[in-house]
Structure 1
Amino acid sequence: MGLPYIVPNMAEAVVARLHPAATRWNRLEGRPRTHDFDRALRAEVRDALWLLSRQWQMGEFQGDDAGSPVLARVCVEIASLNRFQAGAAAVEDLKPEEPLEAVVERRPVPLRAGTQYLSLDLRLAVGRRWLKLLAREAAKPGGLSADYRAAYRTAYAVLVPDPAQKADAAVCAHLEAWQQAGAAAERAMDGIALLEYLVDPAHSVYDGIGANPADESKLVALAERLQDWFAGLIMQPEQNADTAWQPSRLEYQFGCAAPQGEAELVMRAEEYYQGNLDWYALERRPAEPSLGDPPAAPQPPRREVHTFIPTAVMFEGMPNTRWWAFEDRQTNFGEVRPDTTDLGKLLLLEFGLVYANDWFVLPYTVPLGTVSEVKGIALTNVFGERFWIEPVLEQPATDWQKWGMFTLTPATAEQPPAPARLVLLPTVPKVQEGPALEEVAFIRDEMANMVWGIERRIALPSGAPKPGSEAARELRQWLEQLAGPPPAPPNPPAAPIRYQVMNTVPEHWIPFIPVHVEGSVREIQLQRAALPRFLPGDPNPPKAEKVRPRTTLLRHGLPRAYFVHEEEVPRAGAVVSQAYQRTRWLGGRVFTWLGARKQTGRGEGASGLRFDLLAEIKQ
Structure 2
Amino acid sequence: MSGLFIFINPLPSGSTVSRSLQISGSVSGAGSGSVRGVWLQFGDGGPIQQVHPGARKVAQLNWSWSGPIPNAIRPGQRFNLIVSSQGSITVPKFPKDPEPDIQNVDGEVVLDLTLEHVVPVLSVTPFQSPQAVPNAQLPLSFRLAGTLTEGQGQAPYGVPKLTYRIGATAEVTLSVSNGTWGVDLSLPPGEYPITVTASDAFASVDTFSQTLKVLAFPTPPPVDRPGRVTPSGMPSTASITSWTRLEPQCSAADVGSSANARLFDPLWLMTRQWQMGEFQGEDSGSPVQARVRATQAAITRCHFGELSVQKAAGMAYDPATAPLETLVERRRMRPTSPTDDRMLTLAAEAGLHFLRMLDADATARKYRPAFLAASLMQMPAALAEGSDAAARLLRSLAGRAPDARRLVTMFRPTGGNSGSYVPDPALKVAAADLPAVQRVVAAWLAWYDSLFAEPAAPADDAWVPDRLEYAVSVGGRFSPAESDGLTLSASEFDGGRLDWSSFDLNQRFSLDTSASPAASAMSRVMIPAPVVPRGAPAARFWEMEDARLAYGLLPAGATDLAHLMLIEYASSYGNDWYVLPLTLPVGSLTRVDSLVVTDTFGVRSLLRPIGDPALPAPRFSMWQQSALRPAGEAARPPRPNTFFLPPVVGRSMEGAALEDVLFMRDEMANIAWGIERRLESAVETSLPPARPPTAPMTDAAAGSAGLPTYRLASSVPPHWIPLLPVQIQLPPVPGTVPVRVSRLKRGAVLQADGSRHVHPAHSEALKSADTLLLYDEEVPREGTHVTRQRRMTRWIDGSTWVWTALRNQVGSGEGSSALRFDTLGIGD
> What band does the TM-score fall into relative to the shorter chain?
0.7 to 0.9
**After superposition, what is the alpha-carbon deviation per residue over 1:289-345, rounded to whole angstroms, capped at 9, x for unaligned?**
x40x443x33221111222232322354233357997631123456779999x9999
1:170 equivalenced with 2:384 (yes/no): yes
**Aligned to 2:757, which of 540, 545, 550?**
545
Aligned partners of 2:497 and 2:649 also within 8 Å: no
Q: Secondary structure at the match of 1:392?
A: coil
Aligned partners of 1:118 and 1:462 also within 8 Å: yes
Aligned partners of 2:344 and 2:682 also within 8 Å: yes
Q: Partner residue of 1:217?
A: 435
Q: Partner residue of 2:781?
A: 571
Q: Partner residue of 1:588?
A: 798
Q: Partner residue of 1:562?
A: 772
Aligned partners of 1:407 and 1:419 also within 8 Å: yes
Q: Secondary structure at the match of 1:253?
A: strand
CA spacing shift, 1:311–1:464, aligned 2, 3 Å: closer
CA spacing shift, 1:193–1:145, aligned 2, 3 Å: closer
List gaps (5 residues or longer) in structure 2.
1-247, 249-259, 308-312, 731-737
Equivalent residues in 2 for 1:132-147 (5 A)? 132-137=356-361, 140=362, 143-144=363-364, 146-147=366-367
CA spacing shift, 1:116–1:274, aligned 2, 3 Å: closer
Aligned partners of 1:514 and 1:526 also within 8 Å: yes
**After superposition, what is the alpha-carbon deviation per residue over 1:6-64, rounded to whole angstroms, capped at 9, x for unaligned?**
xxxxxxxxxxxxxxxxxxxxxxxxxxxxxx9xxxxx99964444544554455444442
C-alpha separation in 1, matches of 2:467 and 2:797: 35
List gaps (5 residues or longer) in structure 1.
1-35, 37-41, 163-167
| Comparing 509-518 and 61-70, the one that deviates more | 61-70
1:157 equivalenced with 2:406 (yes/no): no
| Comparing 304-313 and 222-231, the one that deviates more | 304-313
Q: Partner residue of 1:94?
A: 317
Letter of the 2:716 partner, please give it: V
**Aligned to 1:444, which of 659, 665, 676?**
665
Q: How far does residue 204 in structure 1 lie from its aligned partner after superposition?
A: 3.8
Higher relative contact order (CA 8 A, sep 6+): 1
Q: Partner residue of 2:24?
A: none
CA spacing shift, 1:334–1:584, aligned 2, 3 Å: farther
**Aligned to 2:488, which of 236, 245, 267?**
267
Q: Partner residue of 1:16?
A: none
C-alpha separation in 1, matches of 2:642 and 2:449: 36
C-alpha separation in 2, matches of 1:528 and 1:344: 50
Aligned partners of 1:55 and 1:61 also within 8 Å: yes
Aligned partners of 1:284 and 1:411 also within 8 Å: yes
Q: Partner residue of 2:466?
A: 248
C-alpha separation in 2, matches of 1:54 and 1:549: 76
C-alpha separation in 2, matches of 1:112 and 1:530: 28
Equivalent residues in 2 for 1:314-329 (5 A)? 314-321=532-539, 327-329=545-547
1:76 equivalenced with 2:297 (yes/no): no
CA spacing shift, 1:125–1:302, aligned 2, 3 Å: same
**After superposition, what is the alpha-carbon deviation per residue over 1:402-434, rounded to whole angstroms, capped at 9, x for unaligned?**
422101111235544312111111112112111
C-alpha separation in 1, matches of 2:527 and 2:452: 47
Q: TM-score, normalised by structure 2?
A: 0.60
Aligned partners of 1:79 and 1:302 also within 8 Å: yes
Letter of the 1:311 partner, please give it: A
CA spacing shift, 1:417–1:498, aligned 2, 3 Å: closer
C-alpha separation in 1, matches of 2:552 and 2:441: 67
Letter of the 1:283 partner, please give it: D
CA spacing shift, 1:402–1:616, aligned 2, 3 Å: same
C-alpha separation in 1, matches of 2:650 and 2:826: 61
Q: How far does residue 130 in structure 1 lie from its aligned partner after superposition?
A: 1.2
Equivalent residues in 2 for 1:18-167 (5 A)? 46-56=264-274, 59-88=277-306, 91-95=314-318, 96-109=320-333, 111=335, 116-137=340-361, 140=362, 143-144=363-364, 146-148=366-368, 150-162=369-381
The structure with the largest alpha-carbon Rg is 2
C-alpha separation in 1, matches of 2:655 and 2:555: 38
Aligned partners of 2:743 and 2:775 also within 8 Å: yes
CA spacing shift, 1:202–1:266, aligned 2, 3 Å: closer
Equivalent residues in 2 for 1:445-460 (5 A)? 445-460=666-681
Q: Partner residue of 1:523?
A: 741
C-alpha separation in 2, matches of 1:91 and 1:513: 35
CA spacing shift, 1:52–1:427, aligned 2, 3 Å: same
Q: How far does residue 550 in structure 1 lie from its aligned partner after superposition?
A: 1.4
Aligned partners of 2:383 and 2:391 also within 8 Å: no
Aligned partners of 2:477 and 2:513 also within 8 Å: no
Q: Partner residue of 1:302?
A: 520
Q: Partner residue of 1:419?
A: 640
Q: Partner residue of 2:396?
A: 183
Q: Partner residue of 1:8?
A: none
C-alpha separation in 1, matches of 2:589 and 2:681: 44
Aligned partners of 2:306 and 2:491 also within 8 Å: no
Q: Partner residue of 2:823?
A: 613
The alignment covers a number of residue pairs equal to 544
C-alpha separation in 2, matches of 1:110 and 1:349: 58
Equivalent residues in 2 for 1:376-455 (5 A)? 376-397=594-615, 399=617, 401-412=618-629, 413=634, 415-455=636-676
Letter of the 1:578 partner, please give it: R
CA spacing shift, 1:343–1:524, aligned 2, 3 Å: farther
C-alpha separation in 2, matches of 1:582 and 1:457: 21
Q: How far does residue 247 in structure 1 lie from its aligned partner after superposition?
A: 0.4
**Aligned to 1:597, which of 780, 796, 807?**
807
Letter of the 1:409 partner, please give it: S
Whose helix fraction is larger, Structure 1's or Structure 2's?
A: 1
1:512 equivalenced with 2:723 (yes/no): yes
C-alpha separation in 1, matches of 2:640 and 2:566: 23
Q: How far does residue 388 in structure 1 lie from its aligned partner after superposition?
A: 1.4
Letter of the 1:494 partner, please give it: A
Whose strand fraction is larger, Structure 1's or Structure 2's?
A: 2
Q: Partner residue of 2:580?
A: 362
Equivalent residues in 2 for 1:464-543 (5 A)? 464-467=685-688, 471-473=689-691, 476-477=692-693, 493-519=704-730, 522-531=740-749
Q: Partner residue of 1:195?
A: 408
Q: Secondary structure at the match of 2:491?
A: strand
Q: Partner residue of 1:231?
A: 449
Q: Secondary structure at the match of 2:763?
A: coil
C-alpha separation in 2, matches of 1:64 and 1:333: 26
| Comparing 97-106 and 327-336, the one that deviates more | 327-336
Percent identity between matched residues is 33
C-alpha separation in 2, matches of 1:348 and 1:193: 67
CA spacing shift, 1:339–1:76, aligned 2, 3 Å: farther
| Comparing 265-274 and 65-74, the one that deviates more | 65-74
CA spacing shift, 1:361–1:125, aligned 2, 3 Å: same
RMSD of aligned alpha carbons: 3.6
CA spacing shift, 1:429–1:191, aligned 2, 3 Å: same
Q: How far does residue 93 in structure 1 lie from its aligned partner after superposition?
A: 0.9
1:280 equivalenced with 2:498 (yes/no): no
C-alpha separation in 2, matches of 1:60 and 1:74: 32
Q: Secondary structure at the match of 1:194?
A: helix
Q: Secondary structure at the match of 1:583?
A: strand
Q: Partner residue of 1:11?
A: none
C-alpha separation in 1, matches of 2:321 and 2:565: 37
Q: How far does residue 524 in structure 1 lie from its aligned partner after superposition?
A: 0.8
Q: Secondary structure at the match of 2:765?
A: coil
Q: How far does residue 206 in structure 1 lie from its aligned partner after superposition?
A: 2.8
Q: Partner residue of 1:27?
A: none
Aligned partners of 1:153 and 1:186 also within 8 Å: no
C-alpha separation in 2, matches of 1:338 and 1:272: 40
CA spacing shift, 1:345–1:278, aligned 2, 3 Å: farther
**After superposition, what is the alpha-carbon deviation per residue over 1:351-370, rounded to whole angstroms, capped at 9, x for unaligned?**
54442211122222122211
Q: Secondary structure at the match of 2:352?
A: helix
**After superposition, what is the alpha-carbon deviation per residue over 1:563-604, rounded to whole angstroms, capped at 9, x for unaligned?**
111111111000111111100111321101111110010100
Aligned partners of 1:197 and 1:203 also within 8 Å: no
